[in-house]
A = this chain, B = another copy of it.
Amino acid sequence: MKTIELKAPYLIFIGDETIDGFAKTGFGIVEWRRSLCKGQMNVEGGTVDLGLPPMTIKEATEANVKSLIIGTAAIGGGIPDIWIDTLVEALLKGIDIVAGVHTRLKEIPRLREAAEQSGARLVDVRNPPEQIPVGNGKKRTGRRLLTVGTDCSSGKKYTALALEKDMKGRGMNVDFRASGQTGIMIAGKGIPIDSVVADFISGAAELLSPDNNPGHWDIIEGQGSIFHPGYGAVSMGLLVGSQPDAFVVCHEANRKHMMGWDNFPLPTIRELIERTIQIGKLTNKEIRCVGVSVNTAQLTPEERKKYLDNLSQKIGLPCVDSLKNGTKKIIDYLEIAFNIK
């Protein structure tokens, strides 16, 4: 399959990071793919603790680690000089380096040379695979669910991962499909859809959720919002190429405007559902919304319950906060809507 693919198990590298918030990628991998993580590694000055066993490159090699994943975003998005010795040591042991930082790994001469010497890979999860085709719009086998948002950063990745986990918990045949760099590091594969050349957005989305068994569900990580003035085209191409049977709307309670685009009010959830169905019908006539996941971190428990109950009554669909309540109600609804079991 023409997607990025990482080799497990992993050593999560958090460098000299001292602030948990900048190590979100590392925490995400541990949260969702703990079984693939052998250990964590800081360099001098680093204090972030992901809760994994600390490990040197030598110990990682003995533990058969295949990839060192850079799980932190340094200020400026580069690779600090004080990381290089460690990364070179890993490469020379045949361990891939995986990163989503702004600087291309291949542009750092010492890393490039070490990789060439050992045959280990420099995997930049911001680089889409080559030779992505134009989308053909043909119906694929298997089922698909896409998370869509009223804005960026509204819980689309989290909700998709929570759905995957909870559906697996019910014994369903399901795969999370990552369309962004952190998602790719968590899933171990995927395509950074926002970095694909414009003509190939829906084609990339088609590669992301290929033909599968009739009872299988792909849970596809959405990007941006079809109502976003900057990123809307990415969201639309992902929607059309994903040809989802079902979608879940993701929203942050009380957010009124697009983050960073203050002149753009958020669409209502009703508007987003209608527009998603209109556009999604191009490649899947049966597309339907199966629920809403709201980030209610800003609300008290009482406010949360009231907010979700009101919303659910208004739109006639299950509304949850995936982080606080899990996705049970949405999956219950999905099972009925699609005659599952």
Which residues of A pack against B, CB within 8 Å?
134-138, 193-199, 201-203, 227, 229-234, 236-237, 240, 261, 263-264, 275, 278, 282-283
Chain B residues near A275 (CB-CB < 8 A) = 278
Complex: how many Å from CA A146 to CA B136?
A: 26
Which of B138, B194, B198, B278 touches A234 (beta carbons < 8 Å)?
Answer: B198
Copies in the complex: 2
Selected A-B contacts with CB under 8 Å, 15 pairs: A134-B231, A136-B261, A137-B230, A137-B263, A194-B198, A195-B198, A196-B197, A196-B198, A198-B198, A202-B230, A227-B282, A232-B282, A233-B234, A275-B278, A278-B278
Say whether B234 contacts A240, CB under 8 Å: no
Complex: how many Å from CA A233 to CA B240?
A: 8
Complex: how many Å from CA A130 to CA B193?
A: 19
Given contacts A232-B236, A232-B282, A233-B240, 19 further A-B contacts (CB under 8 A): A134-B230, A136-B261, A137-B263, A137-B264, A194-B198, A195-B197, A197-B197, A197-B198, A198-B237, A199-B231, A201-B233, A201-B234, A202-B230, A202-B233, A229-B282, A229-B283, A233-B234, A275-B278, A278-B278
A232-B196 contact given A261-B136, A261-B137, A278-B275, CB 8 Å threshold? no
Chain B residues near A202 (CB-CB < 8 A) = 229-230, 232-233
Chain B residues near A136 (CB-CB < 8 A) = 229-230, 261
Complex: how many Å from CA A159 to CA B193?
A: 33
Most buried by B among A138, A227, A282: A282
